[in-house]
Structure formats: structure tokens, C-alpha cells
Amino acid sequence: MQPDPKVLDVFEVTVSPAPDLQARSVVVMEPRAVGGVEPDAAPDSVGVSLDDRFDVRINAFLPAQDNHLFNEPDFFRLHAGSGNDIYAQLVRAADSRVCATLGFHESDDRVFASLRRGTFGGLGLNQAVEIQLLDRFLDVVTDRLRDAGARAMEIKCAPFSHDVASVSIASSLLLRRGAIVAGHDLNYDMRIDGRPFVDRVGYGNAKRIRKCRREGFVAETLDRPRYGAAYELIRDNRTRRGYPTSMTSEQLDAMAATFPDRLHYFAVYPDVKRSRMVAAAVCMAITDQVLYVFYWGDAADMGVYSPIALLAASIYEFAQHRGFALLDVGTATVGGVPNHGLVTFKRNLGFSESLKLSFRWRLEQ
């Protein structure tokens, strides 16, 4: 039998503490040569033992419960582009249960972003964790980033409405370390309840929904062969309105293949024959509680009908039937500055504001 070149060697190191914490020793497990075989230059996995109860695993990609989509190992690997990328998991030593997750992709000029792709990244709590333990977890991750040559780190947090407690904890951890608020946006979402969507929107949108239904419009979820047509309609809409399309059709197809149960496409047709698509949306199940409208748009000649209102109603009904708690339709600000037309559009569809913060933390002294 050939020796395993990644047998772990154990030694003591001291991790730099947060300003309000005492320094402590942890055990780091690094690969060493065995039988004359040298380990890889960038090991697949590194472990750090915080104490007799908890470890930090770097790039181990352990399966975990209750990850949000952008903290899933497969999402991280799908968008990885550097050997310095770090996917860190706080793990209970007794049974390897993942308690918290934090990923960073190397970006430009030695800046590490959480994440490079995705609506947000940041600290994900897979279960309730003591704040002091999260401090120590972040210490380990920060030291790994410094070892990788990081000059600064940037973190896009989830909107507070997704989980006010966990986002508040993450914000506190960063602010206590000297991170600054680098961005702030207004995000729009709606709590799902038993009421019909038409009863939750403004008067004008209620009229549009009823008009579309009265004239035979059909709204439905799509199967994979129709994803391309939906994407082209959305891209055309965004081009007309001067918005970028951040992902290609091929990239979305790769995500759909990787997460077939988390991507959902919707469309509106003007008749039961489905003669043409007049509105479409791409939605992502960020968690089993949050459904996010990633893209949506309508055809250029649909101003009289505004089928986006019917499309929104269809997505809302889907969220009701699937048991989602929150429907998120994204931000209405650019660099913190409100797009007032977009604010009015989302408010009139019944969505309300939640703050979404981004942080930047300079690691170089």
C-alpha cells in the first residue's frame, strides 16, 4: 500500500486575538511528507483545533445542514478561481457537525471577498453558537487570510430581515475588529402569509393582475428546455433599462445543474397556447425559508398590461405552496443611493425595506 502524502502533523501555534480577547493556543494540523512523498503545495484541507470541543476546518467542504445557498460548498467551488480561496467551517469535534461557515474568494490586489459571486456572503450560522466561539473562529480565518497574503477583506452581509439575530452578530464581530461599513443598500422583501397576493399590493397592481387574468394570461413555472428563452427575455429587458446582466445563460445553467432544487424559473404568456413569453423571472431558494428573485423582466410591448404584477403573484403563490417564509426581490439602491422609480415599483408590489450592509476590513498594519 502506498503511503498517504497528507498524513497530518500536529504542532502548537498562537493565533492573534481580537482586541477584546485574550491570546490562546490552538492546535493546527498541517500536511507533512510521509515516506519521502512531499505534500501538495496548497493542501486540500487544514484543521485547527480550538479546544477539546471545536475545530476549524479549512477547505474540507464538509456537508452541513441549514447553509444558505451562497455558503454551500458546491457554490463556493463553482466560483473558485484561486488556490488561495478559503472555505472555513467551525465544526463540533465529537461528530463533525458544522456550526458556522465563512468563505472567501481572492479578488483583485490581494483583497479577499465573501463572496466574489452571490448576492451576499459572510458568516453563516448553521446552529446556535456562543459569540465568544465565533470570535475565535474569525481569528483563525483572519490569520489564514493574512498567511495567504490578504491586504483586506470585504464581506457582503445578508439583509437584516433574513435573520436579524445572525446578521447582527456578524456585524458586531466585524465592527469590534475595526471593519468599516463600506456599503449600505435598501433591500425589499415580503413576509409570506395566507393572504392572496392581490390583497397585499397597491390598487394599480391589483387592477393589472385582474386584467391579465381576465384576458387569459397564464403564469407558470418553467422546465429546463425553456430556461434559455426566459433568460433572453430578461436580458433584453435589462439592456433596455440600462442594467447589467451579471451572469450568462451558461453560468445559470451550471448553477441549475448543481442546484436543481434551488433554481426556479417562471414565465407569463398572453394565452393558453403560450404563443410567446411576455415576462419571466429567475428565482433562487437561498434557504428553505427565503426565496429570492434574482432576475425578472417583461417584454418591450407589454406596458399596457404590466405582466410583472401577475408574475410576482405567481412567484408569491409558489412561495406559499412551498412553505417559504420570505420573498426577497433585491435592492432598489445603487451604492446606497435610492433609485426612486424602483423603490416605488417594489413598494407598490407590497414589498418593504430592510437594511443590507457591506464591510471592509484592512488586514495590513
Q: Give 7-47 pLDDT, tens digit per residue.
A: 233 323 333 344 444 434 344 444 333 223 233 333 467 88
- In the numeric block, the cell 405552496 is attached to 321
CA 32 – CA 44 distance, rounded (Å): 13
Which range has the worst mean pLDDT, 48-57, 108-117, 176-185? 108-117
Could you tell me which of 47, 59, 62 has the C-alpha nearest to residue 10? 47
Residue 144: predicted pLDDT: 94
Which range has the worst mean pLDDT, 8-17, 233-242, 306-315, 327-336? 8-17
Contact assessment for residue 247 and residue 240, using Cβ atoms and an 8 Å cutoff? no
Q: What is the arithmetic mean of pLDDT over 328-340?
A: 96
Angle (nearest 5°) at CA 261 between 258 and 264: 100
Q: What is the arithmetic mean of pLDDT over 142-171?
A: 96
Q: Which residues is 147 bridged to in the sheet?
A: none
Contact assessment for residue 124 and residue 156, using Cβ atoms and an 8 Å cutoff? no
C-alpha separations of 54 from 11, 170, 220, 247 in Å: 17, 19, 46, 38
Kindly tell me if the per-residue pLDDT of 210 is higher than 90. Answer: yes
More confident residue, 107 or 1: 107
More confident residue, 46 or 74: 74
Residue 43: predicted pLDDT: 41
Q: What is the arithmetic mean of pLDDT over 227-234?
A: 98
- CATH fold of the domain at 8-185+357-362: Aminopeptidase (3.40.630)
pLDDT band for position 154 (50/70/90)?
very high
Residue 251: predicted pLDDT: 94
Residue 23 is placed in which grid cell?
491570546
CA 334 – CA 338 distance, rounded (Å): 7
Residue 36: predicted pLDDT: 30
User: Exposure pattern of 185-195 as b/e (b: 16+ CB <10 Å)?
Assistant: bbbbbbebeee
pLDDT one-digit tens code per residue, 243-283: 899 999 999 999 999 999 999 999 999 999 999 999 999 99
Residue 365: predicted pLDDT: 56
Amino acid at 256: A
Q: What is the arithmetic mean of pLDDT over 310-338?
A: 97
Residue 117: predicted pLDDT: 83
Most distant pair of Cα atoms in the chain: their distance: 77
Average per-residue pLDDT for the chain = 88
> What would the CATH number be for the domain defined by 193-324?
3.40.630.30
Residues 204, 346, 329, 247: what is their CA dihedral angle, to the nearest 10 degrees? 100
Residue 272 is placed in which grid cell?
393558453
CA 113 – CA 122 distance, rounded (Å): 9
C-alpha separations of 209 from 57, 192, 200, 269, 289 in Å: 50, 18, 12, 13, 26
Domain limits, CATH 3.40.630.30, in the chain? 193-324
Of 26-30, 114-118, 293-297, highest mean pLDDT = 293-297
CA 364 – CA 150 distance, rounded (Å): 8
pLDDT one-digit tens code per residue, 191-205: 999 999 999 999 999
Amino acid at 81: G
pTM of the entire predicted model: 0.87
pLDDT band for position 326 (50/70/90)?
very high
C-alpha separations of 342 from 11, 105, 241, 296, 308 in Å: 55, 31, 11, 13, 13
pLDDT band for position 216 (50/70/90)?
very high
Query: Percentage of the chain with pLDDT > 70?
Result: 88
